[in-house]
């Protein structure tokens, strides 16, 4: 029996089962089984697994990476060529783009790499089309733009989200607040710090037993579902922010546009006429959460043209030094920082000081 047939069988059984407290245990087991089969699909057993992203992945350049995901013929290539000035083959038939086409834009001093990925079709997570390679590249992005046709958005949006979820990509979510620690002996120690609506000790044990884990500490710090627990145990989930880009707004009325603008994480544009690109770029910048640090050589004015761009959450002086060169941190005596992160300008700081966007730094060596 093939993996796909097993997956279909489990999905059918889950659809048949009524959801209530008595069946929660059984559904949890089925979900865990399903997650394991999905993982086997993504990483085939045996062999070196070299053919997963064959000839597809592009070298990572710039400070951040944005992937365009969508069905064929929604205007991903037009959007890329109009944003970045890169020629990605554009035609009025489906599946024009066959491999990843990279482009680079400079925005607010940061170099951002844009990837035009080939169109995804339904069933990509099961290995149909080039879907598996496309989604493998999408996993490495800092931000995913799901490009949708404004005339048929919701059906496509659900399908693409389902494909990405099946591949372990979680869109616009935070990692679940669950502590999971394996140990050698002592059984399963289950604690919940708040009331749980779905999980109880038995369900947790049965899900872990499916993974052959019999000794572990599990701490639930928020109201979690069985899916959250499976995500934590699998440990290969990536949490990526996502913007839904509704293309071809030149084909709808103003009233419809007003409704679309109220949808969360959504930006309506027209790639062909270049409408609303500035709003899209601004929204992309907000979601990427990059921090720009300007450098100041001793006795000179700060260089505001080329900032050092760091990802949010890794903006200490030490991270800044490592971004430039790994030996720099050994020679660092202290740094002088001007900007919002210090109490007075300039302030002497050590390597653990966390900087804010658009701070100015001067390094003093030993």
In words, the CATH class of domain 291-365 is alpha beta
- pLDDT value for 230: 84
| Three-state SS sequence of the chain | CCHHHHHHHHHHHHHHCCCCHHHHHHHHHHHHHHHHHHHHHHCCCCCCCCCCCCCCCCCCCCCEEEEEECCCCCCHHHHHHHHHCCCCCCCCCCCCCCCCEEEEEEECCEEEEEEECCCCCCCHHHCCCCHHHHHHHHCCCCEEEEEEECCCHHHHHHHHHHHHHHCCEEECCCCCCEEEEECCCCCEEEEECCCCCCCCHHHHHHHHHHCCCCCEEEEECCCCCHHHHHHHHHCCCEEECEEEEEECHHHCCHHHHHHHCCCCCEEECECCCCECHHHHHHHHHHHHCEEEEEECCCCCCCEEEEEEEEECCCCEHHHHHHHHCCCHHHHEEEEEEECCCCCCCCEEECCCCECCCCEEEEEEEC
- pLDDT value for 50: 47
The pTM for the full model equals: 0.74
- pLDDT value for 131: 59
- pLDDT value for 53: 44
* Per-residue pLDDT in tens (0 to 9) along the chain, 366 residues: 777 788 888 888 888 888 887 788 888 888 888 888 877 776 655 544 444 444 466 777 778 888 888 777 777 777 777 877 655 555 555 555 566 677 788 888 888 888 877 766 555 555 555 656 777 777 888 888 888 887 776 777 888 888 788 777 888 888 888 888 888 888 888 888 888 887 777 888 888 888 888 888 888 888 888 888 888 888 878 888 888 888 888 888 888 778 878 888 888 888 778 888 888 888 888 888 888 889 888 888 888 888 888 888 888 888 888 888 888 888 888 888 888 888 888 888 888 888 888 889 888 888
- pLDDT value for 39: 77
Fold of 64-172+238-287: Rossmann fold (3.40.50)
Establish whether domains 64-172+238-287 and 291-365 are of one fold: no
Domain boundaries, the chain: 3-43+176-234, 64-172+238-287, 291-365
- pLDDT value for 108: 84
């Amino acid at each position: 029996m093939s993996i796909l047939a097993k997956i279909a069988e489990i999905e059918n059984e889950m659809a048949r089962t009524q959801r209530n407290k008595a069946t929660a245990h059984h559904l949890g087991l089925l979900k865990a089984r399903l997650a394991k089969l999905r993982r086997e699909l993504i990483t085939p057993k045996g062999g070196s697994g070299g053919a997963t992203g064959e000839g597809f992945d592009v070298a990572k350049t710039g400070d951040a990476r944005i992937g365009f995901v969508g069905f064929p013929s929604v205007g991903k290539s037009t959007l890329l060529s109009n944003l970045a000035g890169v020629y990605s083959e554009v035609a009025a038939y489906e599946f024009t783009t066959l491999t990843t086409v990279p482009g680079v834009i400079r925005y607010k001093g940061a170099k951002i790499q844009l990837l035009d990925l080939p169109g995804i079709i339904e069933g990509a997570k099961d290995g149909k089309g080039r879907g598996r390679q496309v989604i493998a590249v999408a996993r490495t992005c800092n931000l995913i733009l799901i490009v949708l046709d404004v005339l048929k958005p919701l059906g496509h949006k659900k399908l693409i989200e389902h494909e990405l979820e099946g591949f372990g990509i979680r869109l616009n979510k935070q990692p679940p607040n669950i502590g999971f620690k394996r140990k050698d002996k002592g059984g399963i120690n289950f604690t919940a710090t708040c009331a749980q609506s779905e999980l109880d000790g038995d369900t947790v044990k049965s899900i872990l037993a499916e993974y052959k884990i019999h000794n572990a500490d599990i701490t639930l710090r928020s109201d979690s579902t069985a899916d959250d627990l499976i995500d934590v145990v699998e440990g290969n989930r990536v949490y990526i922010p996502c913007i839904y880009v509704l293309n071809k707004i030149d084909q709808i009325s103003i009233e419809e546009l007003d409704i679309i603008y109220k949808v969360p994480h959504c930006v309506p544009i027209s790639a062909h006429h270049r409408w609303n690109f500035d709003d899209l770029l601004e929204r992309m910048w907000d979601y990427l959460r990059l921090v720009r640090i300007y450098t100041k050589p001793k006795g000179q004015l700060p260089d505001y043209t080329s900032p050092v761009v760091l990802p949010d959450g890794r903006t200490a002086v030490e991270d800044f030094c490592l971004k430039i060169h790994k030996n720099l941190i050994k020679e660092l005596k202290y740094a002088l920082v001007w900007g919002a992160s210090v109490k007075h300008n300039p302030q002497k700081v050590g390597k653990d000081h966390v900087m804010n966007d658009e701070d100015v730094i001067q390094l003093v060596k030993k």
